Structure 1
Amino acid sequence: MTTVLETEGLTKEFGRLVAVDGVSVAVDSGEITSIIGPNGAGKTTFYNLLAGQLEPTDGDVHIKPRNGDELVTATGMPPHEINRLGLSRAFQISNVFEGLSVIDNVRIARISRDGRTLDVRSLARADRELTESAREILELTDLQDVADEECANLSHGDVRKVEIAVALGTDPSVVLLDEPTAGMNPTETDRMVDLVRDLDSSTDTTFVLTEHDMEVVLGISDRILVLDGGRLIARGPPDDVMADERVQEAYLGGEVGDGATTEDRTAGGGEA
Structure 2
Amino acid sequence: MTTVLETEGLTKAFGRLVAVDDVTVSIDSEDITSIIGPNGAGKTTFYNLLSGQLKPTAGGVRLRPRGGGDLVDVTGDEPYEISRLGLSRAYQINNVFEGLSVLDNVRIARISLQGRTLDLTSRATEDEELTERAWEVIELARLEEVAETECSNLSHGDTRKVEIALALGTDPSVVLLDEPTAGMNASETRKMVDLVQRLNENTDTTFVLTEHDMEVVLGISDRILVLDSGGLIAEGTPAEVMADERVKEAYLGGEEA
Letter of the 2:166 partner, please give it: V
Q: Which residue is equivalent to 2:155?
A: 155
Secondary structure at the residue paired with 1:119? helix
Q: Which residue is equivalent to 1:262?
A: none
1:16 Cα offset (Å): 0.3
Secondary structure at the residue paired with 1:38? coil
CA change 1:118–1:241 in 2 (3 A) is closer
Show the 5 A alignment for 1:128-143.
128-143=128-143
Q: Which residues of structure 1 form unaligned runs of 5+?
A: 257-272
2:59 corresponds to 1:71:
no
Q: Which residue is equivalent to 2:85?
A: 85
Letter of the 2:203 partner, please give it: T
1:71 Cα offset (Å): 0.3
1:118 Cα offset (Å): 5.1
Question: In 2, are the aligned partners of 1:86 and 1:174 still within 8 Å (CA)?
Answer: yes
1:102 Cα offset (Å): 0.1
1:253 Cα offset (Å): 4.3
2:224 corresponds to 1:208:
no
Q: Which residues of structure 2 form unaligned runs of 5+?
A: none
The one-character-per-residue Cα deviations of 1:99-142 (angstroms, maximum 9, x if unpaired) are: 00001000000010111005232232111001000001111100
Number of aligned residues: 255
Q: Which residue is equivalent to 2:45?
A: 45
Partner Cα separation in structure 2 for residue 252 and residue 212 of structure 1: 15
Moved more, 66-75 or 93-102: 66-75
Question: In 2, are the aligned partners of 1:108 and 1:120 still within 8 Å (CA)?
Answer: no
Question: In 2, are the aligned partners of 1:108 and 1:121 still within 8 Å (CA)?
Answer: yes
TM-score, with length taken from structure 2: 0.97
**Percent of aligned positions that are identical:** 75
Superposition misfits of 4+ residues, deviation over 2 angstroms: 251-254
Secondary structure at the residue paired with 2:70? coil
Partner Cα separation in structure 2 for residue 205 and residue 239 of structure 1: 25
Partner Cα separation in structure 2 for residue 106 and residue 118 of structure 1: 12
Moved more, 243-252 or 229-238: 243-252
1:233 Cα offset (Å): 0.3
Partner Cα separation in structure 2 for residue 120 and residue 89 of structure 1: 23
Partner Cα separation in structure 1 for residue 218 and residue 162 of structure 2: 24
The one-character-per-residue Cα deviations of 1:202-228 (angstroms, maximum 9, x if unpaired) are: 101000000000000000000000000
Q: Which residue is equivalent to 2:219?
A: 219
Question: In 2, are the aligned partners of 1:4 and 1:173 still within 8 Å (CA)?
Answer: yes
Secondary structure at the residue paired with 2:116? coil
Secondary structure at the residue paired with 1:88? strand
Partner Cα separation in structure 2 for residue 251 and residue 64 of structure 1: 33
Question: In 1, are the aligned partners of 2:111 and 2:118 still within 8 Å (CA)?
Answer: no
Secondary structure at the residue paired with 1:24? strand
Question: In 2, are the aligned partners of 1:102 and 1:151 still within 8 Å (CA)?
Answer: yes
Show the 5 A alignment for 1:178-217.
178-217=178-217
Partner Cα separation in structure 2 for residue 200 and residue 167 of structure 1: 13
1:164 Cα offset (Å): 0.0
Q: Could you say which structure has the greater relative contact order, defined with CA pairs below 8 angstroms and 6 or more residues apart?
A: 2
Question: In 1, are the aligned partners of 2:6 and 2:27 still within 8 Å (CA)?
Answer: yes
Give me the CA root mean square deviation: 1.1
